[in-house]
Structures are given as structure tokens and as C-alpha cells.
């Protein structure tokens, strides 16, 4: 396990270095307006002085080396436009907790609804719950997310009087964003749990248990559900960590001051240093989620060994 962790960590660091380098170089190819407030009002002398102060007149590789040194000291840089001259780490510190709370609740809701639905679908093939779940999954996958997000917002406001604007102090304003963020994962968990449970129910050990007279309910819940849940468990950390950074569209739709809405805002304002920092955070989240998923899978099922060939993804 330790050997695997070291190898996976080294690969993750290498992947992160490549992502940071590519993003950094691409942003340096963008127009320099993204590094200045009121760019159109600045004189050429002021622009050149600003470029020199930020080190943008150095060769790109030197700039990249300096940036990695800053990262090692926990410095993501300074916002130039979104909040001029404010450290990016300070800005993110106020955004991440909001996305963390909303994402955590949304994930819990999707698991609470998705897993029972998937289990019911597998246990009642061709019957009501299977048809209902299939219709729900097809709807979620076929209809663009923006469409049912808008329906949730409109009908939630008209029928239940929920506010369309998010407020940290009014928990009723959390309901529609959480439902919007949870609906996609609910369909995902239901679909894959049903598929895995149907596959498991056709295996020899299930047929043997039925032949021995073991109650079907006990077989489905104690054996089939548990074994079907193992391949799904690896995706839970990624789902949770992605929820931390928030749903970009949902946070923008409800004016939630979280990570998702922040990305949209800084892209619109062309704050290059902020875009760079948020992309790095997203990359770290994705890589960490993959590592945690593998580890969690081995904890749930001790038969899986990450040290053996084919044991890891």
C-alpha cells in the first residue's frame, strides 16, 4: 500500500506540474489587458512599468520557475482585476467553505435518493420502480442541465415561494441550489448501482444462495448490493471534491458567492492570475479525488490489492 501511494503521489505531482505549465504558458499568450485595471486609461509608460513590476517581461520559462517557487510557499499570486492587489488565497478562503457546505449536502442528498432508487430498480426489473427510475435517468441525461435548472428555479419560486437569490443566513434559499446540484448525481448513482446489481445477481454465488433457500431480500442487500457498491465507491471522493468547487452554472444562476461563480466572474473580467489559480485548484481536486477513490475502494473490499498488477485503475 505504501509503495503504491508513493508511486501514485509521484505521478500525481508530475501530472499537476504538466497541467500548471500548460495553463501558465497559455495564459501568457493571452492579451496583457488581463493584468491591468482600467487598461484603456493607462499610458504606454504605465503599462510597461506594470509589466516589469509583475515580471512579465522575463522569458516564459523564468516566469514559470518563479511561479513554482511561489506555489511551494503557498502563494497563488495576486488578483489584478477581480479584487485588485488582494492575495488570491485570501479570496478563495472566503469562497471554498460555501461551496463545501452546498456540495456536501448535495452529495448526501444524491446518495440518499440515488442508492435506494438504483436498488429498487434492480430488484423490480420491468416493474414500476424500474420504469420510473429509467424514465428519470433518461430525462436527466437527455435534457440539458440548464433547462431543468431553470424549471427548478421557476417552479420553486412560483409554487413554494423560494427566493431566486442565495443568502448564507436564510437556509430556505439553499434548497433549490442543492436540489439542482444533486439531481445529476442522483441519476448517475441510480443508473450504475442498478447496472452493477443486475450483473451481480446473475453470478453463480447468487444462484447457489437461492438454491440453498437463502431469502432473496437477504441476498440482494447483504451480498449483491455490497458487491455492486464497491466499483461505485471509487467515484465518491471525486464527486464530493468536485462539489466543493461547486457547480459553475448553478452558483451563477443563484448568485452564490462560491468557487463556481467565481470562475465565471474572473473569466468574464479577464483576470488572468485568478483564472490560473482556480484552474490549479480544480486540477488538484480532480487528482486528489482519483487517489482517494482507489484507497476507499480497498478499504471497502479487502480483496482488492493496489500493489498487484491490475489492482489499480
- How far is Cα 293 from Cα 295, in angstroms, rounded to an integer? 5
Task: Give the mean model confidence (pLDDT) for residues 66-88.
Answer: 85
- How far is Cα 77 from Cα 187, in angstroms, rounded to an integer? 39
- How far is Cα 119 from Cα 200, in angstroms, rounded to an integer? 12
Write down the residue that cell numbers 448513482 correspond to: 189
Residue 222: the pLDDT is: 75
Residue 307: the pLDDT is: 59
Give me the phi and psi of 190, to 5 degrees please. Answer: -65, -45
> Of the ranges 40-44, 255-259, 280-284, 307-311, which one carries the lowest mean pLDDT score?
307-311
Task: Give the mean model confidence (pLDDT) for residues 133-159.
Answer: 89
pLDDT at 122 over 80: yes
| Interval 226-236: pLDDT, tens | 788 777 777 77
Q: At what angle do helices 259-269 and 236-245 cross, to 10 degrees?
A: 50
Percentage of the chain surpassing pLDDT 70? 93
Among 184, 170, 174, CA closest to 107:
184
Q: The C-alpha cell of 228 is what? A: 455492486
How many Å is the Cα radius of gyration of the chain? 24
For the chain, give the mean pLDDT: 82
**Which domains does the chain possess?**
2-89 (no CATH), 94-300 (1.10.3720.10)
Residue 312: the pLDDT is: 44
pLDDT at 156 over 60: yes
> Of the ranges 34-38, 119-123, 144-148, 274-278, which one carries the lowest mean pLDDT score?
34-38
Among 248, 288, 266, 247, CA closest to 77:
266
Among 39, 74, 73, CA closest to 272:
39
| Interval 171-197: pLDDT, tens | 889 999 999 888 988 998 999 888 888
pLDDT at 135 over 90: yes
Q: Please state the length of the chain.
A: 313
pLDDT at 303 over 60: yes
Q: The C-alpha cell of 171 is what? A: 437556509
pLDDT at 302 over 70: no
Instruction: Provide the pLDDT confidence category of residue 109 given band limits of 50, 70 and 90.
Output: very high
Task: Give the mean model confidence (pLDDT) for residues 206-228.
Answer: 80
Amino acid at each position: 500500500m505504501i509503495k503504491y501511494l508513493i508511486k501514485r503521489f509521484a505521478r500525481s505531482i508530475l501530472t499537476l506540474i504538466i497541467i500548471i505549465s500548460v495553463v501558465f504558458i497559455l495564459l501568457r499568450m493571452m492579451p496583457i489587458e488581463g493584468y491591468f485595471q482600467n487598461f484603456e486609461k493607462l499610458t504606454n509608460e504605465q503599462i510597461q512599468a506594470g509589466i516589469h513590476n509583475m515580471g512579465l517581461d522575463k522569458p516564459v520559462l523564468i516566469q514559470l520557475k518563479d511561479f513554482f517557487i511561489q506555489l511551494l510557499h503557498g502563494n497563488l499570486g495576486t488578483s489584478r482585476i477581480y479584487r485588485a492587489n488582494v492575495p488570491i488565497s485570501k479570496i478563495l478562503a472566503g469562497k471554498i467553505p460555501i461551496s463545501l457546505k452546498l456540495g456536501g449536502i448535495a452529495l448526501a442528498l444524491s446518495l440518499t435518493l440515488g442508492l435506494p432508487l438504483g436498488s429498487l430498480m434492480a430488484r423490480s426489473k420491468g416493474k414500476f420502480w424500474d420504469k420510473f427510475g429509467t424514465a428519470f435517468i433518461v430525462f436527466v441525461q437527455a435534457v440539458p442541465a440548464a433547462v431543468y435548472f431553470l424549471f427548478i428555479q421557476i417552479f420553486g419560486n412560483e409554487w413554494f415561494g423560494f427566493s431566486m437569490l442565495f443568502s448564507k443566513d436564510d437556509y430556505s434559499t439553499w434548497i433549490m441550489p442543492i436540489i439542482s446540484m444533486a439531481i445529476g448525481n442522483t441519476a448517475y448513482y441510480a443508473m450504475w448501482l442498478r447496472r452493477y446489481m443486475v450483473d451481480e445477481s446473475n453470478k453463480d454465488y447468487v444462484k447457489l444462495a437461492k438454491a440453498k433457500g437463502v431469502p432473496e431480500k437477504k441476498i440482494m442487500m447483504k451480498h449483491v448490493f455490497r458487491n455492486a457498491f464497491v466499483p461505485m465507491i471509487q467515484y465518491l471522493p471525486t464527486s464530493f471534491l468536485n462539489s466543493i468547487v461547486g457547480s459553475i452554472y448553478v452558483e451563477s444562476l443563484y448568485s452564490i458567492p462560491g468557487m463556481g461563480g467565481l470562475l465565471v466572474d474572473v473569466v468574464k473580467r479577464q483576470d488572468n492570475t485568478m483564472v490560473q489559480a482556480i484552474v490549479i485548484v480544480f486540477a488538484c481536486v480532480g487528482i486528489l479525488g482519483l487517489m482517494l477513490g482507489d484507497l476507499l475502494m480497498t478499504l471497502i473490499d479487502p480483496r482488492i490489492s493496489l500493489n498487484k498488477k491490475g489492482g489499480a485503475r
